[in-house]
Structure 1
Amino acid sequence: MAGHGCSKDDLQDYAVENRTDSGIDSYRSILKSEEPRESGDISGPREKFSTVEERLDSAYGSSSITGESLSELVDSCTISSGQEEQETPSCELSEQEENLLTTITEEGDTFLHLAIIHEDDLITQHLIDLFPKEVLDIQNNLYQSPLHLATYLNLIDVVKSLVWKGASLELQDRDGNTALHVACQHGQNECANEMTWNVSPSKLAPVLEIQNWRGLACLHLAALNRQHLIMTLLMKKGADLNIQEGTSGKTALHLAVELHDIASVKLLLSRGANVDAAMFNGCTPLHLAVGRQDAAIANLLCQAGADTMLRNMEDETALDLADGNDDILALFPFDDIQISGRSVVGVKF
């Protein structure tokens, strides 16, 4: 850890004015804790189904920290030479450094949260270099880590630096979303790429399986928001194409069919998604396509080998849901049956 030329009095006065946690003891407890902190392990109850809109300006309001004052504080610290860095043990921090690392606002934001909120790249990169991993993973009162905020704001270079420094990809915010969930929902393609491209499969696999409080994994969110590039990225990185969301058991293919998103349906089928995957109620993608009178997608599913005779829990086949739609009925194997020279299709009995 580099030494700093901060004024001790300036730091202490600033920290007392703006923090609600003295910081030093809490930071030392992190470093000295005998049990490693698990991802997302934050004291206090989680609110699973929040209707509160994500707050990106959590530094404003009650806190007196502004972009200008934050810049003044960090600018008062000058990084020492490389020789001094080698001579100073990384585990020994000055009191000034500890104050900078551990100051927390009433909203639970660290200085790194604030720098990201103010979109000050210079200060943000400086703090990422300064902060150890334990501080990079601190979550504010909305359970947002710095990586969450950087992703919301599409700060690609910040996301890259945080991931390179080892920031956790598994932390979940108050809605259960990881930073990768956020990227999938909002179409932050480059952020998603930075969070996946240089991450080992063993480290990325559990992230791709995490479900938010609505039961949605990253692939589900990408499908729901028609993020085809991110869907392709996730599939290349080994995302389970047939993972079921937690409320009704839909796969990404079910969701794409419900949205009438033919591009996503083609993409998923081309990658080998299970065309006959069943929801908890037994409905396959073909059931959904026929029930929604979507002949084009129903045709795609049939061409991919969908079993037309599978029954859901109400003992219905997809044919039972056709409701006289000639275009859909023509997809089933009974369309060549004729009575008195007339096709059964379209005949009312």
Structure 2
Amino acid sequence: MDYDSDTAGPKQAKALPCQEDRFDSGLDSMKDDELASEFEDMSVDAHEHTEEYEPWRSAVTEDGDTPLHLAVIHEATEHALQMIKLSHNHPFLNLQNHQRQTALHLAVITEQPQLVERLLKAGCDPRLADNSGNTPLHIACKKGSLTCFSVLTQNCQRHLTSIVSFPNYSGHNCLHLASINGFISLVENLVQLGADINAQEQCSGRTALHLAVDLQNPTLVRCLLALGANVNCLNYGGFTAYHLTYGRQSDEIRHQLYEQTAQELRELPESESDESDMEDLDLSEDELYDDIKFGK
């Protein structure tokens, strides 16, 4: 069966629309009774079929979901485990639906750490990215799923360094996503695992510390400083994290940063447009945070 390189599913006569950060692919593709019937017809049995051919491996819905995708989505755990067992190191495990989600993405989205672990041990590739450029670890950091995060990091040691630093299509790596969403424990864990605390997101060059100021999150600022964040890092507009405290309400954050920021970097640099730095951001809808422009 031919597979389209962009969908990892059968070639379709009509392209289906892709929505950024859509996590519900396949949720309505089959009714419960249809799903149960499909699972019953699979006859997933290690003794009845050869490893080379399993009829359920070629089945796919209009959303590009395989039976494994559907089993994960509908939390049909036993069927999912059977398919995983029979597909050890098989390309089937890494098939992506029309949102480019693998079964591993969906297991993280639905917070099923048991399936996350089984998929990884069976050979599912944790480096594959969905339509938004998110790997399963990005999604765990975005959702604040500490359990799935732990399973992923414990079972992805070989690729962990590259996955942690890998930016999604909005320019954010795992540390940026954990910071934007205010998940302190994940921020601490990521830094302990070797994430670059001073890494700049690709939209406007902000570090996690810049983002913490934007969020007006004094706890996160305090955490990042304790972990060794460099207060003198400049974003692409030439601003330190302290510069971003101008016009914002939190005196606590301002005081935290003032003493540690180099004296020559405390004054705002001259800029033709103080607003230009703010306009560089291109956050997806659930990554948006309140952002007050300089001088307001």
User: Do Structure 1 and Structure 2 share a fold, with TM-score over 0.5?
Assistant: yes
- Rg (Cα) greater in structure: 1
8 A contact 1:138–1:145 mirrored in 2: yes
Provide Cα deviations, 1:203-257, integer angstroms capped at 9, x if missing partner: 1111111111211111111011111111111111111111111111111111111
Provide closer, same or farther for how the CA distance between residues 315 and 57 of structure 1 changes in structure 2, counting only shifts above 3 A.
Answer: closer
Match of 1:165 in 2: 122
Match of 1:306 in 2: 261
> What does residue range 209-248 of structure 1 map to in structure 2 within 5 Å?
209-248=165-204
Structure-1 separation of matches of 2:93 and 2:52 = 19
Structure-2 separation of matches of 1:173 and 1:41 = 10
Structure-2 separation of matches of 1:176 and 1:278 = 26
Using structure 1 for the length normalisation, give the TM-score. 0.68
Identity %: 34
Provide closer, same or farther for how the CA distance between residues 313 and 134 of structure 1 changes in structure 2, counting only shifts above 3 A.
Answer: farther
Provide closer, same or farther for how the CA distance between residues 114 and 42 of structure 1 changes in structure 2, counting only shifts above 3 A.
Answer: closer
Provide Cα deviations, 1:84-121, integer angstroms capped at 9, x if missing partner: xxxx9xxx6454x1x22222222111111010011111
Match of 1:187 in 2: 144
Structure-2 separation of matches of 1:147 and 1:223 = 23
Indicate yes or no: 2:242 matched with 1:286: yes
1:78 to 12, 36, 45: 45
8 A contact 1:277–1:284 mirrored in 2: yes
Structure-1 separation of matches of 2:85 and 2:154 = 21
Secondary structure at the counterpart of residue 215 of structure 1: coil
Match of 2:292 in 1: none
Match of 1:112 in 2: 68
How much is the aligned-residue C-alpha RMSD, in angstroms? 2.9
Structure-1 separation of matches of 2:230 and 2:216 = 18
1:60 to 24, 28, 32: 28
Give the deviation of 1:164 after TM superposition.
1.8
Residue 44 of structure 2 aligns with an amino acid whose one-letter code is: C
8 A contact 1:59–1:109 mirrored in 2: no
Match of 1:265 in 2: 221
8 A contact 1:163–1:194 mirrored in 2: no
Match of 2:155 in 1: 198
> What does residue range 121-160 of structure 1 map to in structure 2 within 5 Å?
121-131=77-87, 132-160=89-117
Structure-2 separation of matches of 1:268 and 1:133 = 41
Structure-2 separation of matches of 1:199 and 1:61 = 31
Structure-1 separation of matches of 2:115 and 2:125 = 14
Residue 252 of structure 2 aligns with an amino acid whose one-letter code is: A
Residue 263 of structure 2 aligns with an amino acid whose one-letter code is: T
Secondary structure at the counterpart of residue 279 of structure 1: coil
8 A contact 1:241–1:273 mirrored in 2: yes
Match of 1:14 in 2: none
Provide Cα deviations, 1:37-58, integer angstroms capped at 9, x if missing partner: 9xx99699xxxxx755614242
Structure-2 separation of matches of 1:135 and 1:105 = 15
Provide Cα deviations, 1:293-316, integer angstroms capped at 9, x if missing partner: 42211211234x211322555269
Residue 70 of structure 1 aligns with an amino acid whose one-letter code is: E
Residue 170 of structure 2 aligns with an amino acid whose one-letter code is: R
> What does residue range 87-106 of structure 1 map to in structure 2 within 5 Å?
93-95=51-53, 97=54, 99-106=55-62
8 A contact 1:219–1:239 mirrored in 2: yes
8 A contact 1:156–1:194 mirrored in 2: yes
Q: Which runs of 5+ in 2 are unaligned?
A: 12-17, 273-296
Provide closer, same or farther for how the CA distance between residues 70 and 235 of structure 1 changes in structure 2, counting only shifts above 3 A.
Answer: farther
8 A contact 1:286–1:308 mirrored in 2: no
Size of the alignment, in residue pairs? 263
Q: Which runs of 5+ in 1 are unaligned?
A: 1-22, 27-36, 45-49, 82-87, 317-349
Give the deviation of 1:62 after TM superposition.
7.3
Provide Cα deviations, 1:146-193, integer angstroms capped at 9, x if missing partner: 111111110111111112223112111111111111111111110011
Using structure 2 for the length normalisation, give the TM-score. 0.79
8 A contact 1:150–1:158 mirrored in 2: yes
Residue 108 of structure 2 aligns with an amino acid whose one-letter code is: T
Provide closer, same or farther for how the CA distance between residues 235 and 41 of structure 1 changes in structure 2, counting only shifts above 3 A.
Answer: farther
